[in-house]
Amino acid sequence: MNEDEFSEWYHRMLDENKIVDIRYSVKGMPVYRGMAMFIIREMQRYLEGMLEENGHEPVYFPVVIPEDTLSKEGEHIKGFEDQVYWVTHAGQNLLERKLALRPTSETSMYELFSLWVRTHNDLPLKIHESVSVYRYETKHTRPLIRSREFLWNEGHTAFATKEEALKNIEEIKVIYKKLIEGLLCIPVMVNQRPDWDKFPGAEYTIAFETLMPDGKTLQVATVHNLGQHFSKVFNITYENEKGEKNLVWQTSYGPGFGRLLAAVICVHGDEKGLVMPPKISPTQAVIIPVLFKNVDGTAIIDYVKKIEEKLASQGVRVKVDYSDEHPGAKYYKWERQGVPLRIEAGPRDLKEGKVVIVRRDTGEKKSVPLAELDLAKTFSEIEESMRTKAKKKLDERKFKVKTMQELAKHAGEGIVEAGWCGEKDCVKPIDEAGTILSISNEEHECAVCGGRGKKITVAKTY
């Protein structure tokens, strides 16, 4: 699917399935509708549950940050200075201090960290919040993918030792993979970003990325090792058992819920429409009564109600389509919405005490006795099938190249593994072809000059 085809398909999916409405009068700030909010809330509950089980305290910080607080750390504010929304007035009154709408929360939180942390007994400190953040994105906005207001969860920590902070990063990587690859069935690549592309103020940044149908990568989550950079600026210290004062070690991290939703739509979708992982689908199964003219449908409707009650008792989010549309139109409508299972019940099914179930992900159709109808196993099979299919599509679009010509050809098609010698003269043509996602210590011949270099991964990105 080329970029134009993908863009047309993507916007059609958002519109036809009432996911977001981009007609709000502030550009880059879409309205999230019912389906979007249901899925985002499922992601949020799943993630927050894992974070709190890991010892994170839920918090909510104010949306505004005073200018002097935001600008305390020079490298950090420099990374956001062109994207900050400023509040300067209250009514007709000029504020004494300019207030920034939260672009991220390190600075606002860490002022409080310096008050909350006094001794080693106050550590570790781990908090998280699910909020909106605001950044004046100057590039072309795209709903859910590149917005000026977006929903995310952000976690922030303080530890007594570097080892504890690094252990926390590994734990968060596991949690995020459970969210993305487990709940959402989306394969991700976990890359340490090059130094020039790290979060402002971090020692290094780890990015979670997936591949979209047009060959570009989408970053859906990041984890930052902050070291002692912010603790020095905000004087976050603790007193150890010996009475000595030490700076804490910190990490921060967050996935974007809008981008995760976009990835679900795009990674799993097909020419018919959406394909929803069962756990996050607003409707997990839809029942279609198959009625015929000149045939009394009362018995079929009673049978359908019996099916509905059985599934509801199993905790399945189920709907019955009683509309007057013909079956084909109903099939199309629910396939477009990505409902994992369609259940058909007609006169023959009633007579035999069976139902027909149809999987959205594969189109597989089979007849099942009503007495044996239990969808838990089928949902698990759907999830595993979706993971396998998505991983296969990702792996098929990974390329290993040796020359710059090959790199330029494949950078718009998927993930490219190549080499770079580290020289500035050689990075320019690579940057023109795509973005360097990671640099490893593995030796690899430079794609530009042929000299000794390191292995890099390159792709076009959103």
Give the Cα separation of 3 and 348 in Å (integer): 46
CATH code where residue 241 lies: 3.30.930.10
Is the pLDDT at 93 greater than 70? The verdict is yes
What residues have CB less than 8 Å from 388, skipping those under 6 apart? none
Which pTM was predicted? 0.95
Residue of 358, 350, 301 lying closest to 328 (CA atoms): 358
Among 342, 376, 410, the domain-final residue is 376
* One domain for residues 166 and 205: yes
Number of Cβ within a 10 Å radius of residue 143 = 23
Mean pLDDT for the chain overall: 95
CATH code where residue 349 lies: 3.40.50.800
The residue range of the domain holding 363 is 283-376
In a domain, 387, yes or no: no
Is residue 453 within 8 Å of residue 425, measured between CB atoms?
no
Give the Cα separation of 228 and 232 in Å (integer): 6
* One domain for residues 255 and 300: no
* One domain for residues 34 and 133: yes
- CB-neighbour burial class of residue 68 (10 A; exposed 0-12, middle 13-18, buried 19+): exposed
* One domain for residues 402 and 329: no
User: What's the confidence (pLDDT) of residue 162?
Assistant: 98
* One domain for residues 230 and 346: no
Tokens of residue 28, six digits: 């880059």
* pLDDT tens sequence across 100-132: 999 999 999 999 999 999 999 999 999 999 999
Give the Cα separation of 142 and 135 in Å (integer): 14
Is the pLDDT at 420 greater than 90? The verdict is yes
* One domain for residues 153 and 301: no
* pLDDT tens sequence across 10-68: 999 999 999 999 999 999 999 999 999 999 999 999 999 999 999 999 999 999 999 99
pLDDT bin (cut points 50, 70, 90) of residue 139 is confident
In a domain, 384, yes or no: no
Residue type at 235? N
User: What's the confidence (pLDDT) of residue 253?
Assistant: 98
In a domain, 385, yes or no: no
- Domain count for the chain, please give it: 3
Mean pLDDT, rounded, for 276-288: 98
In a domain, 386, yes or no: no
Is the pLDDT at 76 greater than 70? The verdict is no
* pLDDT tens sequence across 179-223: 999 999 999 999 999 999 999 899 999 999 999 999 999 999 999
* One domain for residues 241 and 291: no
What percent of the chain shows pLDDT beyond 70? 98
Is residue 47 within 8 Å of residue 58, measured between CB atoms?
no
CATH code where residue 407 lies: 3.30.110.30
Residue of 365, 364, 447, 443 lying closest to 406 (CA atoms): 447
Angle at 63 between CA 60 and CA 67, to 5 degrees: 125
Among 268, 292, 324, the domain-final residue is 268
Is the pLDDT at 138 greater than 90? The verdict is no
Number of Cβ within a 10 Å radius of residue 340 = 28
Tokens of residue 386, six digits: 């979706």
